[in-house]
């Protein structure tokens, strides 16, 4: 497959790729070590230029009729839909995930653009009659939005940030992750053909350099970030210092609960495996704490371990691959370190636990799907590992289990399996999580709100409510006539 990549990418500002003054860094295939392209790391000068372009474009873009903004988003979605195969290959090379997953990412991303193209058409204010007149509450864009995204699902992340922001009339300066910039830089080529100059700008680089310069820029009107909770705190601090609105989608250690009335063990085992291992476990919403009732523990665990033992750890482009390569050596070593922590804490290793060597991909960190029987107070149950590691916790007492499920600094997502609808709804109500999936983990559709409780973030994405986070309310009160004097008579 010809990727069609440029040899080098500079910052994308005002619908043009600029040279940039920063150092160059490599984008390499994490599985093979192959050099895919080089990029310019953007510094203060490039951030200034990008924000200036976005500020200059914003009044005209805000004045653009909603119907036209919607049409342009639909056009972008259609163009991306026609280029899915190539873009899926780019992401698979850039981040090491298997091609089947990065292909599905393209479908989700196109759906985001189409959803917000439609949603903006019904994003309305409100008003009512008052004595002697009427008041109107209207929604207006915030201005220039600084957006910083992670590396695990780059195509989805770009769509989830760009679509609602520009639909609502804002302009954007987006920083992709330095480990996953290529599909976003390629997206810029379509943006230049469809959108007015300055509406969407992209500046590659590291968080400590480019990201810091962007979120502290005085021309920014909003910060939106997806990534770790630790970095999220820095984003929140930057927003607090400048009194800017901030939305954060952060880490997770999600509980996935199996009740004793289930009988379809093979199907549940498959969904549990998917919940924990999709994206090679590099997902903030992964179901990495599995609570299994002791009455069904043995049959479910037999089915789960059997299924994971048959999982194919292989190169990203192997059609049989179930799991593939982690994004970097650093991430691979981090996951292996956590597996060692689990052993040292006394967790019982049920399957996996090792790195695999894959022919032709010797540079990559391919880690077996790993399952521990553990206690909820262990580090592997408390901390976000971001790899294919699942911790299983037995339970028998409902209240104790629920307390443990909620005993986490995170609250991004949760899942549960039961045939009892009353139990499902009661448990969903009591789980401290922004998303609760019943009988199908990861059941995230366009229009369903996504975001976290506690240290998993602030705000909601993927839904109509997201548009509220990219706008502000202005009230206009109309009086029919000037009132009779009452202050000075």
Tens place of pLDDT per residue across the chain (489 aa): 899 999 999 999 999 999 888 999 999 999 999 999 999 999 999 999 999 999 999 999 999 999 999 999 999 999 999 999 999 999 999 999 999 999 999 999 999 999 999 999 999 999 999 998 999 999 999 999 999 999 999 999 999 999 999 999 999 999 999 999 999 999 999 999 999 999 999 999 999 999 999 999 999 999 999 999 999 999 999 999 999 999 999 999 999 999 999 999 999 999 999 999 999 999 999 999 999 999 999 999 999 999 999 999 999 999 999 999 999 999 999 999 999 999 999 999 999 999 999 999 999 999 999 999 999 999 999 999 999 999 999 999 999 999 999 999 999 999 999 999 999 999 999 999 999 999 999 999 889 999 999 999 999 999 999 999 999 999 999 999 998 887 776
How far is the C-alpha of 451 from the C-alpha of 459, rounded, in Å? 6
| Domain 8-250+470-475, CATH number (from 3.30.750.24, 3.40.605.10, 3.10.20.600, 1.10.8.60) | 3.40.605.10
Catalytic residue among 42, 188, 279, 284: 284
Length of the chain counted residue by residue = 489
How far is the C-alpha of 177 from the C-alpha of 103, rounded, in Å? 20
Prediction pTM value: 0.96
Identify whether the C-beta of residue 285 lies closer than 8 Å to the C-beta of residue 412. yes
Q: Which residue, 189, 188, 230, is CA-closest to 207?
A: 230
Burial class (CB in 10 A: 0-12, 13-18, 19+), 166: buried
As a whole number of Å, the CA-based R_g of the chain is 24
Identify whether the C-beta of residue 57 lies closer than 8 Å to the C-beta of residue 191. no
Identify whether the C-beta of residue 227 lies closer than 8 Å to the C-beta of residue 150. yes
**DSSP state letter for 439:** S
Query: φ, ψ for residue 133 (rounded to 5)?
Result: 165, -140
Q: List every span in the chain annotated with CATH 3.40.309.10.
A: 255-438
β-partners of residue 222 are 145
Identify whether the C-beta of residue 246 lies closer than 8 Å to the C-beta of residue 225. yes
**DSSP state letter for 461:** B
Q: Is 361 a catalytic residue?
A: no
**Beta strands per DSSP E along 399-452:** 410-411, 413-417, 435-438
Distances (CA, A) of 441 to 37, 324, 429: 36, 21, 16
DSSP codes of every residue in 248-306: EE-----EEEE-TT---HHHHHHHHHHHHHGGGG--TT---EEEEETTTHHHHHHHHHH
End-to-end CA distance of the chain: 83
Q: Is 284 a catalytic residue?
A: yes
Burial class (CB in 10 A: 0-12, 13-18, 19+), 427: buried
Q: List every span in the chain annotated with CATH 3.40.605.10.
A: 8-250+470-475
C-alpha torsion 233→234→240→244, nearest 10: -110
Identify whether the C-beta of residue 43 lies closer than 8 Å to the C-beta of residue 207. no
Q: List all residues 6 or more positions away from 368 whose beta carbon is below 8 Å from its beta carbon.
A: 311, 313, 323, 351, 352, 353, 354, 355, 356, 388
Indicate the CATH number for domain 255-438: 3.40.309.10
Catalytic residue among 101, 249, 368, 384: 249
């Amino acid at each position: 497959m010809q990727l069609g990549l440029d040899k080098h990418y500079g910052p994308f500002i005002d619908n043009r790729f600029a040279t940039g003054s920063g150092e160059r860094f490599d984008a390499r295939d994490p599985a093979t070590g192959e050099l895919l392209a080089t990029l310019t790391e953007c510094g203060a000068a490039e951030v200034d230029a990008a924000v200036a372009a976005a500020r200059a474009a914003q009044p005209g873009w805000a004045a653009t009729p909603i119907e036209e903004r919607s049409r342009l988003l639909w056009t972008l979605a259609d163009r991306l839909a026609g280029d899915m195969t190539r873009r899926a290959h780019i992401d698979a090379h850039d981040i090491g995930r298997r091609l089947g997953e990065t292909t599905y990412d393209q479908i989700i991303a196109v759906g985001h653009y189409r959803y917000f193209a439609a949603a903006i058409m019904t994003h309305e204010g409100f008003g009512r009659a008052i004595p002697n007149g009427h008041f109107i509450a209207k929604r207006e864009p915030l201005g220039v939005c600084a957006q910083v995204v992670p590396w695990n699902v780059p195509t989805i992340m770009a769509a989830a940030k760009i679509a609602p922001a520009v639909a609502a009339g804002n302009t954007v300066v987006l920083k992709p992750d330095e480990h996953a910039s290529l599909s976003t830089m390629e997206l810029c080529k379509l943006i230049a053909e469809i959108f007015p100059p300055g509406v969407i700008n992209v500046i590659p680089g590291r968080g400590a350099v480019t990201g810091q310069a962007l979120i502290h820029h005085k021309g920014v009107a909003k910060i939106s970030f997806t990534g770790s909770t630790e970095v999220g705190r820095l984003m929140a601090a930057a927003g607090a210092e400048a009194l800017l609105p901030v939305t954060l989608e952060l880490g997770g250690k999600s509980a996935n609960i199996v009740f004793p009335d289930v009988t379809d063990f093979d199907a549940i085992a498959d969904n549990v495996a998917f919940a924990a291992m999709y994206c090679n476990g590099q997902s903030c919403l992964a179901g990495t704490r599995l609570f299994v009732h002791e009455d069904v523990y043995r049959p479910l665990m037999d089915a789960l371990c059997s299924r994971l033992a048959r999982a194919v750890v292989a190169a990203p482009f192997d059609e049989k691959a179930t799991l593939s390569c982690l994004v970097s050596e650093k991430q691979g070593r981090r996951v292996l370190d956590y597996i060692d922590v689990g052993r040292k804490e006394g967790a019982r290793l049920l399957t996996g636990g090792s790195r695999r060597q894959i022919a032709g991909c010797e540079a990559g960190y391919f880690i077996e799907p790993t399952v521990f029987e553990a206690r909820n107070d262990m580090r592997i149950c408390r901390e976000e590992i971001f790899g294919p590691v699942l911790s299983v916790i037995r339970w028998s007492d409902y209240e104790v289990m629920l307390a443990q499920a909620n005993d986490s600094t995170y609250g991004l997502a949760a899942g549960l399996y039961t045939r009892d609808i009353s139990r499902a709804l009661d448990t969903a109500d009591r789980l401290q999580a922004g998303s609760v999936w019943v009988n199908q983990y990861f059941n995230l559709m366009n229009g369903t709100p996504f975001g976290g409780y506690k240290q998993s973030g602030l705000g909601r994405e993927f839904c109509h409510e997201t548009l509220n986070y990219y706008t502000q309310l202005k009230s206009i009160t109309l009086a029919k006539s000037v009132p009779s004097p009452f202050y000075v008579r």
